[in-house]
């Protein structure tokens, strides 16, 4: 059965968003690209904090570490359920995610997407390359890319992995599209 949902998991600045945009170009029919950045941008400012403590929301420390509180987890659970509901209603979705909790994060998505055909894709990038992209972008907390490069993949199982260290987003998207079915 062809995938209804493609979940791209990788650290910050690993190339997931670029791959998602390319997938929208190479896959037949409309695919929505939704990601953790969309969720964070939709949060009220009171749930987005700089510094070590997230409080109730999500916090971004100066060293790139991300911490989350109970209000963020509640909103995130609603977000995941909403994405799954959209897929069940017939939307084809590319999810651009960062599994900060590794396998635990994947299990939350697996429960929500249960019964749907999902293609799980690991998006890897060497920490030094991702850190260089992070600096070039200028809109990320320094250190986040290096901190997440391996962390987000711990214990996660994939149907396919791509590595953007030396491979362009379009080539990765074509590799993924070939597996969609």
Class of residue 2 by CB neighbours under 10 A (exposed 0-12, middle 13-18, buried 19+): exposed
Spatial contact of 76 and 84, defined as CB atoms under 8 Å apart? no
Return the structure tokens found at 6: 């493609």
Class of residue 158 by CB neighbours under 10 A (exposed 0-12, middle 13-18, buried 19+): middle
Return the structure tokens found at 67: 């911490």
User: Nearest-CA neighbor of 162 among 3, 2, 22, 4?
Assistant: 22
Phi-psi region of 29 (alpha: psi -120 to 50; beta: other; left: phi over 0): left
Active site residue 63: no
Beta bridge partners of 150: none
Which residue numbers are catalytic? 37
């Amino acid at each position: 059965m062809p995938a209804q949902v493609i979940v791209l998991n990788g650290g910050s600045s690993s190339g997931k968003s670029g791959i998602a945009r390319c997938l929208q170009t190479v896959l037949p029919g409309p695919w929505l690209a939704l990601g953790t950045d969309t969720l964070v941008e939709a949060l009220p400012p009171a749930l987005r904090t700089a510094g070590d403590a997230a409080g109730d929301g999500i916090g971004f420390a100066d060293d790139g570490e991300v911490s989350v509180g109970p209000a963020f987890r509640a909103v995130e659970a609603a977000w995941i359920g909403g994405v799954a509901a959209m897929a069940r209603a017939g939307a084809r979705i590319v999810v651009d995610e960062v599994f900060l909790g590794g396998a635990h994060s994947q299990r939350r998505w697996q429960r929500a997407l249960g019964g749907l055909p999902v293609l799980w894709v690991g998006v890897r990038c060497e920490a030094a390359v991702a850190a260089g992209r992070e600096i070039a972008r200028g809109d990320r907390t320094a250190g986040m890319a290096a901190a997440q490069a391996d962390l987000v993949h711990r214990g996660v199982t994939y149907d396919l992995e791509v590595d953007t260290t030396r491979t362009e987003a379009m080539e990765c998207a074509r590799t993924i599209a070939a597996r969609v079915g």
